[in-house]
Amino acid sequence: MAGSKRLLIGLGNPGETYAATRHNAGFAVVDALAERARATFKNDGRAGALLAEGRLRGRPVVLVKPQTYMNRSGSAVRHLIRRYRFGPAEILVIVDDINLTLGKIRLRERGSAGGHNGVQDIIDSLGTDAFPRLRIGVGSDFDRGRQADYVLSPFTAEEQPIVDEVLTRARDAAVTFVTDGIVTAMNRFNRGKSG
């Protein structure tokens, strides 16, 4: 499996309205990966996604931003897995997480959606939860019943330095997944801010 292509999927909502919101942290990481790979996104109508193909440390990658809105991300992922003949272990889903404090990231090999509708739609579409994911903490500083407003709001000016740092760490964790696999990436980056 080493040296084979990897599919890196950032979850978010399309359009300028959502571009800088907490819910689009996955898109932000994939954008950073595209910059690192010197890859340009192109619209793929059949997949319902923006795709960019390039290399990270010499390894081929397909970077994906589904354009189906967060809660319908699974159809694009299922289509691309079939097209490129990926196994679930060869993809990395990159997603925001209100259950992690701002500035934290966590990698997992598999598991439940943790209340995230985008991840749940991928699980439902693939019929398995056995795919790696990279969760980016966006905090949970919202009143009861205001979760949607919170995740669809931008980061504050005070939060931005922390956000910039965590997005860089998330990008580096994704590159490590590509080059060394999920277990090495977990061991290196799941140890808090120093990882």
Residue positions annotated with a catalytic role: 23
Instruction: Identify the CA nearest to 171 among candidates 151, 146, 189, 192.
Output: 189
- Residue indicated by tokens 């056995």: 130
**Cα–Cα distance between 55 and 62 in angstroms, integer?**
8
**Cα–Cα distance between 122 and 68 in angstroms, integer?**
12
Among left, alpha and beta (phi > 0; psi -120 to 50; other), residue 141 is beta
CA distances from 32 to 16, 23, 80 (A): 17, 16, 21
**Phi and psi dihedrals of 95, rounded to 5?**
-145, 150
